[in-house]
Amino acid sequence: MVEAFAVASGKGGVGKTTSTLALGMALSDRYDVTVVDADTGMANLLFHTGLDGVETTLHDVLGSDVPVSDAVYERFGMRVVPCGTSLSGFRRADPDRLRGVVATLARDTDVLLLDSAPALGAKSAVLPVVLADRVVVVVQPTIPSLSDALKVQEYATAYGTSIAGVLFNRVQPTDPIERISEAASRYFDGPIIGRIPERPSPQAARRAGKPVLAHAPESSVADAYRGAADRLEIRPGDETAIADRFQSAVIPEQP
Amino acid sequence: MWLPQGRLCRSTVVSTVSSVLALALDLSLTGYGVFSMPETPRAPRGLITFDGGVPGCCYHPQTSWDSTAALSRIASYRPCRVDLYQLSRPTVRSIHDRAPETVDPTLPASQLDGDSILLQRTKRRHSKRESNTAPTNTDTVVSFLEDSDRIRALQETTRQTVQLRARRWNLASLLENDH
């Protein structure tokens, strides 16, 4: 059984990678979780998981014949597939190969989280939303972030990918989050699964090369992420069918 | 597309567009650059907006907001005349909020330049700006969400962009209502 989620925001800097790993760690208590850094242009996951020294990354898989298993690392109770940061690796990476990677990983996990690129101007940023079963939208309570989150939803809806939930992140104590949540819920098709407070712990966790649930498991941020993961109802599908769907998705090469 | 008239701060001719990205960082430009071919003044003009030197949107009349395609068009202007205009930060951010698409801030450096130093500079500046962004007036956020006409317009524009890009990226067959 497997369900694939794209974790997307549209706007950068909202804490998408932090959220992806936090949800992944929280879900790993109950499920086999695999997290993939699908942001091939601005890879982040490796810094959050202490993997910045590894030799093989998703760039190598997308850019040559390296098997995906070589880029899978067991970390913090999850399987983590980081992306590299080199310009040459980015240039060699063929985003269309992502579907094959997802198909392979889907055969051997319960929950697949695709940490998507911010911005929606590139095919590589949109593909995770196209390929996933559902999307978790990470949003800050600001106008730019909400605007881009609504755009993410439009992309998802157009490709038949439903919204699993909306996660408010970096919520300031002064934000009237009740009013903002209520107003936002009129536009989003999925439930609001959490409100993560703005605290120093995620930044400290990143500096330590750990997900926040590993670095500060007792923190209010970690608690809020665990609550959000609990509200994310997993709907596992048949892994063979899902793998086949990804593999056979007709995405011809661009001319 | 419509843009408010900015204050011209630099006008130059460059051999490659990528040098303008470095210049925008050096100037911490908040505003936009208009890119044209000096030898073909009637050719369509491309545009990149910047927030503190970090690219925000890329536009070309022949490709609309498709950043990758717009950048390719702009990059083909060799030599290239560029006029840089300053705008206030709220004005630029308002443009980015309303634009159908914003660009991954590192995409122009990745696509136009082989210099990883420029890419790293852009990443650092982007990260710094994101962490230094002052909280938005929260009453304004609620007002934004209560402006259903504005939200509907944003959704409709995005829908059109999605369809356009699906065809351009060969993803149209995967659209839910593709016929």
pLDDT, tens digit, 9 for 90 and up, residues A194-212 = 999 999 999 899 989 999 9
Per-residue pLDDT, A250: 45
Average pLDDT rounded to a whole number, residues B113-127: 80
Q: Is the predicted pLDDT of residue A173 greater than 80, yes or no?
A: yes
- Establish if B154 touches chain A: CB-CB under 8 angstroms: yes
**Residue A22's CATH number:** 3.40.50.300
**A:92-121 residues touching chain B, CB 8 A cutoff:** 117-121
Per-residue pLDDT, A144: 86
Q: How many CB atoms lie within 10 A of CB A83?
A: 27
**A:3-62 residues touching chain B, CB 8 A cutoff:** 10-13, 41-42
Which residue segment(s) compose the domain that A241 sits in? 3-248
Instruction: Give me A110's structure tokens.
Output: 């319960």
Average pLDDT rounded to a whole number, residues A59-65: 87
Q: What is the ipTM of this complex?
A: 0.87
A218 located within any domain: yes
Per-residue pLDDT, A215: 95
Position with higher pLDDT, B130 vs B11: B11
Exposed, middle or buried: residue B44 (CB in 10 Å: 0-12, 13-18, 19+)? middle
A129 located within any domain: yes
**Contact flag A179-B142 (C-beta cutoff 8 Å):** yes
- Establish if B133 touches chain A: CB-CB under 8 angstroms: yes
Instruction: Give me A254's structure tokens.
Output: 């661009």
**What letter does residue A65 receive in the DSSP assignment?**
S
What's the maximum distance between 2 C-alpha atoms anywhere in chain B? 49
Predicted confidence (pLDDT) per residue in B139-175, tens digit: 689 999 999 998 999 999 899 989 988 988 888 988 9
A255 located within any domain: no
Position with higher pLDDT, A99 vs A138: A138
**A:170-189 residues touching chain B, CB 8 A cutoff:** 172, 174-176, 179-180, 183-184, 186-187
CB B14 within 8 A of CB B80: yes
Q: Is the predicted pLDDT of residue B35 greater than 90, yes or no?
A: yes
Position with higher pLDDT, A250 vs B90: B90
CB B150 within 8 A of CB B141: no
Residue A168's contacts (CB-CB under 8 Å, 6 or more residues apart) are A139, A140, A141, A177, A180, A181, A192, A194, A195, A196
Q: How many CB atoms lie within 10 A of CB A54?
A: 15
Q: Is the predicted pLDDT of residue A61 greater than 80, yes or no?
A: yes
* Mean per-residue pLDDT over chain B, rounded: 85
A254 located within any domain: no
**Contact flag A119-B144 (C-beta cutoff 8 Å):** no
Angle of helix B138-146 relative to helix A143-158, nearest 10 degrees, comes to 30
Instruction: Give me B41's structure tokens.
Output: 């003044």
A69 located within any domain: yes
Q: How many CB atoms lie within 10 A of CB B172?
A: 14
Per-residue pLDDT, A27: 97
E strand or H helix at B84: strand B80-86
Average pLDDT rounded to a whole number, residues A2-9: 93
Check the CA dihedral B69-A86-A100-A138 and report its sign.
negative
CA distances from B81 to A86, B37, B111 (A): 30, 6, 19
A239 located within any domain: yes
Q: Which residues of B touch A10 (CB under 8 A)?
A: 102
Per-residue pLDDT, A227: 97
Amino acid residing at B48: I
**Contact flag B119-A87 (C-beta cutoff 8 Å):** yes
Q: Is the predicted pLDDT of residue A255 greater than 50, yes or no?
A: no
- Establish if B147 touches chain A: CB-CB under 8 angstroms: no
* Mean per-residue pLDDT over chain A, rounded: 88
Select the highest-mean-pLDDT range: A14-28, A104-118, B9-23, B135-149. Answer: A14-28
A253 located within any domain: no
pLDDT category at B179 given cuts 50, 70, 90 is very low
Q: Which residues of A touch B106 (CB under 8 A)?
A: 41-42
Per-residue pLDDT, B14: 87
Predicted confidence (pLDDT) per residue in A223-242, tens digit: 999 999 999 989 877 777 66
**Contact flag B97-A143 (C-beta cutoff 8 Å):** yes
SS3 category, A108: coil
Q: Nearest residue of A to residue B64 by CA position?
A: A121
The number of distinct structural domains making up chain A is: 1
CB A74 within 8 A of CB A22: no
Residue A255's contacts (CB-CB under 8 Å, 6 or more residues apart) are none
Average pLDDT rounded to a whole number, residues A172-193: 93
